[in-house]
Structure 1
Amino acid sequence: MGRMNAAVRWVVWGTLPLGGVLGGALGTLIGVRPALWLAFIGSWAAGWFVFFSPLRRMRDVPQPEPTSEPVVTS
């Protein structure tokens, strides 16, 4: 679990500077209030994307189908 936690933190904390730069650029170009509205709409769009995806209806992790080819290890 430690490696999984570290990987998730690396992704989340790694994107924070990118979001800060993008938010600052949008705030400068279109204004602070429209940039905040755009961020609000984007966060809702991400939630709706997951809500309507097949992920919500999955209950089990799909297993790969067995192949007829022999597995060769070196």
Structure 2
Amino acid sequence: MAAISHIITARPEVTAILRRCFAAAGNALVAIAEADSRMRAVRQLNAMSDEELAERGLKRDGIVRHIFSDKFYI
């Protein structure tokens, strides 16, 4: 009994093109997420001191939960 196996490999240029396409799509998704007003609010609250957060009734570990509480169950 003879066993024949073929290993199919993509050409390097095809692999590079696919890699660039997936990287571009991932970068676009990150840009969309970072442009969201909720993410801006998270960055603004993270920039505050612990005392300023306490005045607003927040702790640093509760910022994301506070911002996204109406959208996600966190």
Interval containing the TM-score (normalised by the shorter chain): 0.3 to 0.5
Higher relative contact order (CA 8 A, sep 6+): 2
Considering only CA atoms, is the larger Rg found in Structure 1 or Structure 2? 2
Q: TM-score, normalised by structure 1?
A: 0.39
Q: TM-score, normalised by structure 2?
A: 0.39
